[in-house]
Amino acid sequence: MRNRILVTQTGGWVGDMVLLTPALRALKIAYPQSHLALLARPLVADLMAPHPYIDEVIVDSKGRSLNRLPSFWKSVSEIRRSGFDLAVVLHPTSFRNALIPFLAGIPERIGSNVSGRGILLTRTCADRRGLHEVHRYLRVLELIDIHESSTELEFWHTDTDRHAARQILAAHGLSPKEHLIGVNLGTTWRTKRWSLENFAEVITQVQQRFGARILLTGSTPEIPLGEALAQIAKVDAINLIGKTTLMELGALIESCDLYLTCDSGPMHIAAAVGTPMIALFGPTSPMRHGPYGENHEAIEKPVACRPCYKRKCMRKDLPHLCMTEIGPNEVVMQILKVT
Using H for helix, E for strand and C for coil, what is the string for the chain?
CCCEEEEECCCCCHHHHHHHHHHHHHHHHHCCCCEEEEEECHHHHHHHCCCCCCCEEEECCCCCHHHHHHHHHHHHHHHHHHCCCEEEECCCCCCHHHHHHHHCCCCEEEEECCCCHHHHCCEEECCCCCCCHHHHHHHHHHHHCCCCCCCCCCCCCCHHHHHHHHHHHHHCCCCCCCCEEEEECCCCCHHHCCCHHHHHHHHHHHHHHHCCEEEEECCHHHHHHHHHHHHHCCCCEEECCCCCCHHHHHHHHHHCCEEEEECCHHHHHHHHHCCCEEEECCCCCHHHHCCCCCCEEEECCCCCCCCCCCCCCCCCCCCCHHHHCCCHHHHHHHHHHHC
Give pLDDT tens digits for 277-317: 999 999 999 999 999 999 999 999 999 999 999 999 999 99
Q: Which residues 6+ apart lie within 8 Å of 334 measured at CB?
A: 278, 297, 299
Mean pLDDT computed over 114-129 = 93
Give pLDDT tens digits for 4-44: 999 999 987 899 999 999 999 999 999 999 999 999 999 99
pLDDT at 63: 58
pLDDT category of residue 236 using cuts at 50, 70 and 90: confident
pLDDT at 67: 63
Least confident of 87-101, 192-206, 223-237: 223-237
Least confident of 9-23, 48-62, 67-81: 67-81
Mean pLDDT computed over 152-178 = 95
Domain pair 4-144 / 163-338, same fold:
yes
pLDDT at 129: 84
Alpha-carbon gap, residue 295 to 254, rounded angstroms: 14
pLDDT of 66 strictly over 60: no
pLDDT at 64: 56
Any idea where the domains of the chain sit in the sequence?
4-144, 163-338
Torsion angle (degrees, nearest 10) of CA 139, 19, 307, 89: -50
What CATH number has the domain spanning 163-338? 3.40.50.2000
Annotation: CATH topology of 4-144: Rossmann fold (3.40.50)
pLDDT category of residue 71 using cuts at 50, 70 and 90: confident
pLDDT of 65 strictly over 60: no
Alpha-carbon gap, residue 89 to 60, rounded angstroms: 14
Handedness of CA 18, 151, 156, 86 (dihedral sign): negative
**What is the pLDDT of the chain when averaged over all its residues?**
94
pLDDT at 184: 97
